[in-house]
Structure 1
Amino acid sequence: MASHAPASPFARFVHSEAFAGLLLVCTAVIAFVWANSPAQGAYAALRDTHLAVSVGGARLDLSLEHWVNDGLMAVFFLLVGLEIKRELLIGELASRRRATLAIAAAAGGMLVPGGMYALLNAGGPGVDGWGVPMATDIAFALGVLALLGSRIPLGLKVFLTALAIVDDLGAVLVIALFYTSDLNLGALALAALTWGAALLAGRRGVSSLKVYGVLGVVLWLLVLQSGLHATIAGVLLALAVPIRKPDPAGYLTSLTDAARPGREEEVGARLRDLEDLLERAQSPLHRLEHALHPVVTFAVLPVFALMNAGVTVGAGGLGTVSLGVVLGLLLGKPLGVVGGAWLAVRAGVASLPRRVTWRHMVGAGILAGIGFTMSLFVSNLAFETGALLTQAKLGVLIASVLAAVLGGGWLLLVTRNRGSGAGMSAPGTVAPPPAP
């Protein structure tokens, strides 16, 4: 069967994220098997390998694991920040009702899992991991939806994307506010000045990505020294990159003139010129986002998975930390997501997307329990080393696999009779959530 390119930018995005999810799964499996094989010593040695960078009298010496978690993941957070800004200004979150639904669902999907974990681990050594089960991995979640094909309403894919983006924003705030070390006020002040320079460049419409690249490296180094987690620099830089784009109306007029009788031979050349112009006319935010997406998909996230999914089972085993993470992601996520969305719809401030029912929303809530990338990242912040970190990562891996299987299975069951209209409500109607 002949294949063809997806028809819309959103469809291309979903297609790319599906592949990213598959790549993450493969890399995580390799890391897990490697860490529990006779060659586990080589795996540990790889993570502990130190790389040093010297510029003048300054020297930065970090292990390979820290370079990945503090350096490469800053690029991931830069992409997350760009996506958040785009969605807020011109995307799905620019619509008040859609944004309200995603925000309410994401808030419930963070508060309920975090609360469940905190209650289970209250007073124990693992209480600091309450932020671990709050995140959603968009690549995995959309990957599962892509496997189900056209039986899934487009509105559900859009909702899950918006939910994950709001969820990422919440995770960034949690990291910045609760998972930081002692602050270096001098470095923090210099970081603020650097961010101010980036914001000023964005306000003045500076379109050169090299300017933002240089400011971004300086900002990352200063945030790293400040006590905030270095990846926050990626989100801060994203907020400065402008999204405005120039108006190519003059070239469109030129193309129209070329299409007049007697000048048809110029049309092909002008079309190629216009194509080049539209490529250049993209805003700095769009250009940077498009440039980073394959880098993050094919390099940053797989390398992160390789460095962090290698959990040695015998080192810490399972405990209340693992149980809290699993219950938070598998039970707390769907309860929080569906509950938050239902309250928003019930209050009349939001509505379900077209052709999306509450049964679909339950499936989305279950898939939101796939916390892989961000949950593993927060695990590293909550528990730097030791058995508790192992328990947290095992909980994340177990819950993410189960959420993918259960969420996909639920949606497959719900949509198996979609042609007969079973389980579908009329557009604009609000049905109550299914009874437990």
Structure 2
Amino acid sequence: MDVEILARIQFAFTIAFHYIYPPLSIGIGLIMVIFEGLYLKTGNKDYEILTRFWIKIFALTFGIGVATGIIMEFEFGTNWAVYSRYVGDIFGSALAAEGLFAFGLESTFLGILLFGWNRVKPWVHFVSTLGVFLGSMFSAVWIVVANSWQQTPAGYHIVGTGLHARAEVTDFWEMVFNPSSVDRIIHTWQGAILAGAFLVLSVHAYYIRKGRFVEISKKAFQISLVVATLFSLTQLLSGHSTADGVAVNQPAKLATMEGHFQKNSPADLYLLGWVDKEKQTVTGIGIPGGLSFLVHQDFQAPIKGLNDFLVEDRPSQINAIFQFYHIMVAIGMLLIGMTLYASFLWWRGKLFETKWLMWIFSFSVILPQIANQVGWFTAEMGRQPWVVYGLLRTSKAFSQEVASNQIVFSLVLFTVVYSLLLVLFLYSVNKKIKHGPYEEAVAFSNSKNF
């Protein structure tokens, strides 16, 4: 296997593993803010107990997220030296902003969040919880800004030529607000909040099913259900807006996502299917002209197809991108259906008596994680063959002096270490969950749920 493919596999593995944790931190962070805000407003100790419990799980996700994220920065220098030189000015600006606005905010308040109970006033602790949550949100902003610039470059000029060419920022805010950044930031935020909300739903559905901590879990479930319902619905809107942007800025990616080959012709919208790259056909269930309608509100409006582009200028893994994209959409619709149905049962007063639904929610934590992963796969694989869209090809961006055996060795090493980290994370979270939210509150033993 050649160096380019190995370098791509290694980076895909490390970023996919890393991306398990930051979305959970963002989503749990919002839930913690709501729990603690309700505690300050109502004085109800249940909300304090829930806040303390979820802070511990937040700390685990935050710590593993930081540890796994550091590796990617080293990979830029070792495996992607040409790329690093090319985007260094752009990424340097974005990552410096992340350090200033995100890490600075998180590091200021993290200690108070974790160790400040009974040491600071309740409102100070709440401000710290809010500060850590906002810091995680800002961190996502600058990472997505940097990645969005690769998708839709803006606010730059090119200095130098060949292997020594690099992009320099000419307008910082034009770089930040490049054509795809706002849609992608909002969509990423929503996916992250859903990941955290469904983890909370999963844990408290499990408690309700097992008859443990039932009353406090009902409160946590209801609050998380409101969050999950709101963000699953709004994510549908941001997803549509993002797709509209792809149609304008990356038409080859859009054509790949729906397996549309014909030049400048009406495009179908598939619910599911299989792409035959050689025959240039899709076998599946689709809505004729559906993609044309979504983009132009006209079933007969032409959409650029893959045949409008040179073979070397369009993605090669067409069926994989098609499948990843449709898995993401299918899960998104499933989350909407689940949350709306659960909200309906709540309104009818039958939510917690519907045992089969509680069973489904107990395992639902995996769904937003899969959707987040395949969504990123769609975005990054759909950008190929460009690492910076229209400017720098992936085949020209990797380090010329790195040997394939070196990448294989480090990939095996990362796989072992990351697998151990995952096992440690799952073991620690499972231990916290089994112990329950009253870990530090034995005084609450008079509760009927303890």
TM-score, with normalisation over the residues of structure 1?
0.28
Higher relative contact order (CA 8 A, sep 6+): 1
